Structure 1
C-alpha cells in the first residue's frame, strides 16, 4: 500500500521540487536523486514506488520546467494531491502522464507516512490508518488516457497516427466555398 509524504506548506515551487543546479539532464532517474532536496534532504531515501505526495495549495509554482514532474515521477511518486496547483505545473503533469489531483482538506487528513488507498475510478483517497475518505476533483478521461499511455507524445503516437495520416488538404473544413485551395473547383 502506498504511503503519503506530507509537504504541508503552500507555494512549494519548482526550484524546491528539483533545484536548478541539477538541471543538467532530462533523465528521470538522474533527476530523481535530487527530488525535493531543498525542502527535505531525506525524501529520496524514504520514497517508494507508488507513494503519494500530499501538499499545500499552489504546488509547483514558479518556472515552467517539466523537470519538476520528471524528478517526482523518476523517484517513484505516483501522484501529488493538493488543494490546487500552479497552472503550468498542472498542465505539465497531464502532458507527462503524471497525476496531479486537486482535493480540499487533504493536508489536514494525513500525517507523514500514513498509508493511503487511491481510487481513481471512484475519485477518492482514503487514509487507511484513520479511515477518513476524501473526494478529489475527478480526473478527466483524457488525462487518464494520457497517463496510461505514459505521456502526451506516447498518447499521440498510439492514438492519432492513423488520423494524422488520413488528413488531407481536401478535408471537409477546407471545403467551405471561400475560394481557397481544397475546393473541388477553382473559380476564376
Structure 2
C-alpha cells in the first residue's frame, strides 16, 4: 500500500486503553500464523475479548467479525487513547489485518503495538489530533487521505486531522520492515 493511498471503509469504534488481550484473547493464540487454514481463525477471534464499560470494547451485539465468518465488514478501527496497550504480542495487529482491517485511527498508541503494526506490515496506525471515538459512530463510512492528513466522515460530512506517518511511511509503503530492508538492499532478496 502506498503511504499516500486513500483508504475508505466502514468504521468500528472502540474506547480507550484497548489492550492486546482484548484484541486477540490469549486462549486464541493456539493457531499457526503460517498455516492458511489456521491463520484465518485470528480474523474470526479479533476483538473477541469480553465487552464491558471499562474495557473500551463496544457493548451490545456489535462484533467486529460476525459469528462463523473470518473477515469483518469494517475496514477502519477508530479507537481512544493508548490503543494496543498490554503485552507485546504481534498477534494483535496480525489478527486485525487478517480480519480485514486496513487502518487504525487513535490519538495515541502503545509503542510496541505501533511498531508491530508497522514492522509487520499489518495495519496502518494513524494518529488523530483529537479523540475521534466520541465523534465517529460504528458503521460510519470514512475516507483516510494521508496526503492531505485528513479523515473525512462521509456519513456525517465532517473532516478531522491526522498526523503524517513520518519516518515509518517508507516501511508502511514497502509492506513491513523486512520488505523495506530488502528494497533498500539491507538484506538479500529472496
Q: TM-score, normalised by structure 2?
A: 0.77
Question: Higher relative contact order at CA 8 Å, sep ≥6: structure 1 or structure 2?
Answer: 2
Q: Which residue of 2 aligns with 1:19?
A: 25
Gap runs ≥5 in structure 2: 1-7, 34-38, 52-57
Q: Does the 8 A contact of 1:26 with 1:67 survive in 2? A: no
Gap runs ≥5 in structure 1: 166-188
Runs of 4+ in 1 over 6 A off after TM superposition: none
1:89-138 alpha-carbon deviations (Å, 9 max, x no partner): 11111212221111113112211100011101111001111211111111
Compute the RMSD of aligned alpha carbons: 1.9
Q: 2:13 aligns with which of 6, 9, 16?
A: 6
Larger radius of gyration: 1
| C-alpha separation in 2, matches of 1:18 and 1:105 | 23
How many residues matched? 160
| C-alpha separation in 2, matches of 1:155 and 1:22 | 30
The answer on 1:153 being equivalent to 2:178 is yes
Which protein has the bigger helix share? 1
The answer on 1:120 being equivalent to 2:159 is no
SS in 1 for 2:148: coil
Q: 1:34 aligns with which of 30, 45, 55?
A: 45
| C-alpha separation in 2, matches of 1:135 and 1:120 | 10
